[in-house]
Each structure stands twice: as C-alpha cells, then as structure tokens.
Structure 1
Amino acid sequence: MIKQTLDEWRTEARERFGDRTAEWKFKCPRCGNIQSPKDFVSRGAAPGEAANRAYQECIGRTGEGKGCDWAAYGFLGTLGYGRVVVTPDGQEVEVFDFAPREQDS
C-alpha cells in the first residue's frame, strides 16, 4: 500500500484529476466501483461530507448502485488495495485508492 502525507496525496489527486475536488475519483477495493464526491452530492450528501465519503465509503452504502457496503474505516480497511494518508498531526488514515486516469484505462 502506498503511504503518503496529506499534501502528497492532494498533489497527486490534482495531477490526476485537476483542481476541482468534486471531480477526484476513487475506486472501491471490494466491488471496483469508481466514484467521485460529485456522485455523492447527486445522492443528497452535502459537498463537504461528500468529499470525505468518496474516498472512504463505497457509494453502494447509499442504497443505490451495486449494493456494496464497504468502508475504508471498517474492520478490514481497504483489503490492502488502498492508501494510507498521514495527516499533519501524524494520524494515519486508510483511504480508497485513486481510480485510474482516463488515459490509464
């Protein structure tokens, strides 16, 4: 698993998807669903909440889509297919990996 600081993670996200955080895409390690904060907003989440949910929860938890209920903060984390982000205060947070860029697929 990749381990990086919060600043490194944000820099990589911007390089992959641009400056609009609503467009950043993440891949559920269990079902493979690709999702963005914008997808969560379209299902009723507030923008700030949607950003956090997109990198830690499968959108299937909203009751729509594949029905997957996976969360990075659960007992099994990301099954080894995610990332660990180190916050400025030293906390380590497991998150879903980035989705491949369009040109990578």
Structure 2
Amino acid sequence: MLVLLLLERVLLGGKVLNVGGGMVNNEIKDLDPNSPFTLFLILVLLLLAQNHNLEEIIDRTRSFVLETKRSIEGIRSGLHAMNTSMETFQANVFDMHKK
C-alpha cells in the first residue's frame, strides 16, 4: 500500500515523504520529475508493486554487492601492504649497494 502511495505521489509530481528504514520521517522533499533518480525510483516502485518477491531479490543483490565491495577492499589493502613491503625492501637493497 505504501508503495502505491509513493508511486502515485511521484507520478503526480507532488511532495513525497522521506521513507528510510521502514519508518516515515516528517521531512518532505521535492522530487524532480525529469531527474534520472526519480525515473529509477518510479521503475523500482512499479516493480515492487507487481512482484512481491522483488524485495527479497533486491536484498540478496544488495548483500552480494556489499560482500563484493568488502572483498575488493581486502584485495586493495593486501596490494597496498605488498607495495609498502616492496618499497621497504627496495630502500634496504639501495642502502646495501650504497655501502
């Protein structure tokens, strides 16, 4: 029901209540009807209104994206540590050649 109400307000270009984490805040925001974000929101709301399992699919996709992000951050920190070790090794080798 909330999805249909939000969709109606978005399509009519009215003001929409800011919905976050299942709770409705008292903040009112204007949505630009020509904004790509608004068009994406309309698409998501239409899909949610038609497919009740879509929330579960979106939740699983979100979990996958977050785990991928964490994995990439781990790889990035590992590469950074390896680079630091190589720079230290290079500096030590350079010092040995100097002596």
- For Structure 1 versus Structure 2, the TM-score category normalised by the shorter chain is under 0.3
Q: If the length of structure 1 is used for normalisation, what is the TM-score?
A: 0.25
Q: If the length of structure 2 is used for normalisation, what is the TM-score?
A: 0.26
More helix by share: 2
Structure with the bigger RCO (C-alpha within 8 Å, sep 6+) is 1
